[in-house]
Every structure is written in C-alpha cells, then in structure tokens.
C-alpha cells in the first residue's frame, strides 16, 4: 500500500514550511495533525526558534533526512485544546515543545526522566511517531503533543525570547548540571558564541561561575562581556591569548557547529577537568589521547538536550533569573535568508520566527 501523503495522514488540516530536498530551501506545505487525544495538548504556535540543528537537518548534513521535512524544535504557543486526561495545562496557558515528542516510557532512561537518551526517543520532526506517521516541527500553525512532552512556560517570560531555551537553553543547562560544572566560583570556558553559547554564558553566570568565552569573532567581545556578563574573552586564532590562558579552566562547553581544532581547547583545561562537546559537525575531529588526555587526567564528554523534567526545571530557573535568548524576530517568509545568515555566522544570537503573525495559509 502506498504511504499516505502528509496531507492525508491525519484528520486535522495543518500548514507550515518544509524543505523538499537537500538544497534545504523551505516553502509552504499543507499537511495534517492528529485529532486531540485524551492525553494530548493542542496549541497554536506563536514563535519558533531556528537552531543550527535545523540547518544540519534540512541540508541532510548527517544523512537520514526524509523530505518533505517541517523543521522547528524550539516551539512556544498557547494551548488551544486539551484532552480529558490532561492535568498540567489548561486552555490559554503558555506552553512549549522542545526536541522530543515521544519515547518508550519503560526503559531505564525513561524511568529516570532521561527521555532524551531513550533508544526509542521520538524527535520533534523527521522521525516516525508511535502511530507510524512522520513527526513535523514548529514551522507550522499548530502543534499537538502528549502532555508528558509539553512544558509549561512561566507567565513572566516573554514568549519570543524564551522559545530558544527549549533547545539551546536545555542543551547547555543539562551538561552544566550533569558534569558538575555548576559550582559557584568554578571557571568555565564556552566555545562558540552563537545560539547555544550565548545562553550558556547567561546560565553559567546565574549559577555563579566565572566565564571565559572562546570565539572566532573578535567583534562579539563587547556583547559577551557587557550584555551576557562573561568575565573574559579569548579569540581562538590568537596564539598569544590562547597560550596565556593554558591550564586555567575547570571545564569547557564547546558549542561549535563546524569541524574545528580540539587540542588548543584541551590545553586550556586544568588537570582533572572536562571538555564537553555539544556541537554536531558532520565530520569527526581527531583527538589524540596521549599525551593530551592521559597526562592531565582530562575527560571529554558529550550531552544531548535534556529530559522533560529537567527542561521544566531549566525554564523555571530561567524565569527566576530573568534569562531569555537575545533574538532577532523574523517573518516566516524570511526563513531562507535566515538559514543563509545562520550558515555565515551572521546572527545575534538566535533567529525566532514570528509564526503567529506571519505564517499565512497556503
């Protein structure tokens, strides 16, 4: 039997913007969403951030993209309909969906609120849902997800500015907590001052850390220090600066989206400390274990977004400390230009699409 078209899969007509092939060019698409189930929350999408992962996906940088693909996993809006068994949200509440819309619910990771590491996790788009249909992201007029995968957005946070926290925010918050890089007074390096990096600085400062930004862009120095509160700034191509900072950091969070040298970063670490890699370029970098890691008892780790419980904790922490992303709000029609600019590292510091006001029905 031929697979149903995106428009025929479900009963509720929906629309958004999708990439049709690995050119990554986005254009309007009619598709459909399921009817609201008893554990579902349906919401009108108001804003959706553009993560570098969206760029990797629409370009099929990692392989496995199935077209048409409707991207977007930093999705915020207002609940429009809730199923009969939903308890945590009522119609009219501000809600969000981040990177995941499903998981197995029974493995060790799911039992420990780590749905993000469930072997059967279902990502928000470009995945197959439990019912066999394709998942579609937030570059669309509305979203539906089970209550478990919906996060309540604190009233005081502006919606556009907090949208990026549902990927960029949790993706930096979770490793800071898990790897113990959250103790006041610790000296943290953040590599790459982009979407993840700039909110990383804000969370780290709110946790009481000393923060050094390591960047390829000298012109971001003033903003790093005055706007985001970083304590110092290193230009990674400046050998003198990098040499002067050797052995000074207790940990590094690396958010760079492209292949880049790792060795100079490891050299910035004190002994017994950690380099945490978050960026996902399509080619691996070579890391020599000896003498780089072995002699200093250094550790290299990774981390992928965060579980739902921790995402709620992160957004409540953000509300308490007034943390939002610095955003450039754009209309839907600007999305292809925004993707080009993101690729050229020309964004300060996150594009957020004003879906609610600018997504027109095709």
Q: Which stretch binds ligand NAP (CB under 6 A): 15-23, 213-221, 290-298, 328-336?
A: 213-221
Only segment of 7-15, 146-154, 159-167, 292-300 that touches Zn ion (CB under 5 A): 159-167
List of E strands, the chain: 12-19, 26-33, 40-49, 75-82, 94-97, 100-102, 122-123, 142-146, 151-152, 187-191, 210-215, 232-235, 249-254, 269-277, 299-302, 327-330, 350-353
Report what 292 binds from Zn ion, ligand NAP, none; CB cut-off 5-8 Å by kind: none
Cis peptide, bond prior to residue 101, ω within 30 of zero: no
Q: Which residue carries 């060795």 as its tokens?
A: 263
Beta-ladder partners of 351:
328
Of the candidates 8, 57, 35, the one whose C-alpha atom is nearest the C-alpha of residue 142 is 35
| Contact set for ligand NAP, span 64-123 (CB under 6 A) | none
Q: At closest approach, how far in Å is the CB of 231 from Zn ion? A: 27
Near ligand NAP in 139-198, by CB under 6 A: 167-168, 171, 192-197
Least separation in angstroms between residue 121's CB and Zn ion is 7
195 vs 251, which CB is nearer to Zn ion?
A: 195
221 binds ligand NAP (CB under 6 A): no
Using the contact rule CB under 5 A, the part of the chain among 49-57, 62-70, 254-262, 343-351 near Zn ion is 49-57
Output DSSP code: residue 40: E
Q: Following DSSP, what letter does each residue of 163-223 receive, concatenated?
A: GGGGTHHHHHHHHHHHTT--STT-EEEEE--SHHHHHHHHHHHHTT-EEEEEES-GGGHHI
Among 46, 51, 89, 352, binds ligand NAP (CB under 6 A): 51
| 118 lines the binding site for Zn ion (CB under 5 A) | yes
On the question of a cis peptide bond just before residue 68, with omega within 30 degrees of 0, the verdict is yes
In the complex, the smallest distance separating the C-beta of residue 107 from Zn ion, rounded to whole angstroms, is: 3
User: To the nearest 10°, the Cα dihedral for 128, 75, 25, 33?
Assistant: 50
Strand pairing category for 142-146 and 40-49:
antiparallel
Residue 357's SS3 state is: helix
Q: How far is the CB of 78 from ligand NAP (least distance, A)?
A: 25
**Looking at 104-112, 174-182, 198-206, 256-264, which segment touches Zn ion (CB under 5 A)?**
104-112
10 Å CB burial of residue 267 (0-12, 13-18, 19+) is: middle
Q: Which of 14, 32, 53, 135 binds ligand NAP (CB under 6 A)?
A: 53
Examine residue 242 and tell whether it contacts Zn ion (CB under 5 A).
Answer: no
Q: Residue 41 or residue 163: which is nearer to ligand NAP going by CB?
A: 163
Positions in 289-318 near ligand NAP (CB under 6 A):
303-305
State residue 218 phi and psi, 5-degree precision: -55, -30
| Site track for ligand NAP across 257-296, x = CB under 6 A | xx-x-----------------xxx----------------
256 interface partner picked from Zn ion, ligand NAP, none, CB below 5 to 8 A per type: ligand NAP
Stretch that binds Zn ion, among 51-59, 124-132, 139-147, 158-166 (CB under 5 A): 51-59
Closest C-alpha among 315, 326, 321 to residue 226: 326
Footprint of Zn ion (CB under 5 A): 51, 53, 103-104, 107, 110, 118, 167
Footprint of ligand NAP (CB under 6 A): 51-53, 56, 167-168, 171, 192-197, 215-217, 220, 255-258, 260, 278-280, 303-305, 342, 345
């Amino acid at each position: 039997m031929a697979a149903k078209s995106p428009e025929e899969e479900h009963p509720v007509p929906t629309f958004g913007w999708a990439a049709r092939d690995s050119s990554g060019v986005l254009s309007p698409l009619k598709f459909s969403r399921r009817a609201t189930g008893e554990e579902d929350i349906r919401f009108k999408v108001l804003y959706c951030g553009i993560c570098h992962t969206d760029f990797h996906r629409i370009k099929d940088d990692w392989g496995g993209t199935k077209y048409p693909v409707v991207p977007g996993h930093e999705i915020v809006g207002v609940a429009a309909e809730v199923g009969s068994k939903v308890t945590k949200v009522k119609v009219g509440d501000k809600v969000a969906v981040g990177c995941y819309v499903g998981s197995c619910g029974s493995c060790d990771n799911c039992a420990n609120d780590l749905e993000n590491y469930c072997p059967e996790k279902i990502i928000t788009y470009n995945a197959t849902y439990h019912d066999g249909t394709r998942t579609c992201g937030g570059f669309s007029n509305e979203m539906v997800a089970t209550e478990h995968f919906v996060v309540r957005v604190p009233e005081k946070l502006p919606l556009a500015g907090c949208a990026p926290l549902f990927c960029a925010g949790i993706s930096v918050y979770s490793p800071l907590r898990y790897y113990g890089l959250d103790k006041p007074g610790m000296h943290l390096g953040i590599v790459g001052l982009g979407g993840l990096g700039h909110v990383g600085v804000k969370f780290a400062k709110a946790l009481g850390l000393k923060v050094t930004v390591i960047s390829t862009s000298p012109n971001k120095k003033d903003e790093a220090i005055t706007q985001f509160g970083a304590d110092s700034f290193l230009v990674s191509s400046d050998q003198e600066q990098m040499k002067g900072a050797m052995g000074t950091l207790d940990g590094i969070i690396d958010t760079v989206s492209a292949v880049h040298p790792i060795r100079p970063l490891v050299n910035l670490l004190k002994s017994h400390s950690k380099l945490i890699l978050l960026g996902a370029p399509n080619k691996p970098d070579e890391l020599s274990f000896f003498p780089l890691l072995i002699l200093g008892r250094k550790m290299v780790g990774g981390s992928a977004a965060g579980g739902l419980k921790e995402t709620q904790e992160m957004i409540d922490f953000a509300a308490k400390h007034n943390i939002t992303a610095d955003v450039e709000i754009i209309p839907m029609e600007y999305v292809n230009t925004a993707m080009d600019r993101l690729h050229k590292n020309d964004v300060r510091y996150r594009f957020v699409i004003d879906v609610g006001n600018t997504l027109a029905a095709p």
